[in-house]
Amino acid sequence: MTIRVFVVDDHPLFRAGVRLATEDIEDLEVVGEAESAEEAVRALVHERVRADVVLMDVQMPDSSGISVVAAITAAQHLGTERPRVLMMSMSDDDDMVVAALRAGAHGYLVKGAPRAELVGALRTVARKGAVFSPAVAARMSSYFSAVHELPGRAAFPQLTEREREILDLIARGYTNRRIARELVLAEKTVRNHVSHVFAKIQVSDRAAAVVRARDAGLGA
């Protein structure tokens, strides 16, 4: 059986590289490409291009590749034709991997993976399996061990791990600027996270957030 692959990446050289890496593999065929999230959704969800596996870049110029995964997962009309998704990224950021899995991805590789690893991953995902590059698998093991021990996990199940981490720093009295330095994030990104945290735990200001967080054991 030939595995039909659809490649979504905004870099033409990467898409060409995938074609080159698979052109002499008998059971793999690249059946389409997209260079933006919008183009990918149009092709895969609306035009229903037949693909078994979508090789998806996480970072796209118009939207996150994760939004494409979510659109594919939500497209009930695709039925058994719904493709499975293998994410690829230059980053193995924990939150990004978890977000991709929650959206419905079936694997995650770091760009630059050897050809044999890529080919094996495409085959595994097409056959209903899940696959992660060794680096990602190791990080996920540590990530979920840390999540299990993180204070406040039961108290704030609605928060992502990044949001809970930021709430913990707020409870310690950190300003947004200091949180940004601590987590190596843009200050604007921190502000967005803080707004989401406040909305999810239903507080209107920082003082109330500190009280809620400390009552749950955060900020120690």
**What are the pLDDT tens digits along the chain (220 aa)?**
899 999 999 999 999 999 999 999 999 999 999 999 999 999 999 999 999 999 999 888 888 888 898 899 888 898 888 999 999 988 666 667 777 877 888 888 888 888 999 999 999 999 988 888 766 655 555 555 554 445 555 567 788 888 888 998 998 889 999 999 888 888 999 999 999 999 888 888 888 888 888 888 887 6
pLDDT at res. 76: 86
What domains sit in the chain, N to C, each tagged with a CATH number? 3-136 (3.40.50.2300), 144-215 (1.10.10.10)
Q: In what order do the strands lie in the sheet with 84-89?
A: 28-34, 3-8, 53-57, 84-89, 107-110, 131-132
- d(C-alpha 156, C-alpha 150), whole Å: 11
pLDDT at residue number 15: 95
Per-residue pLDDT at 135? 62
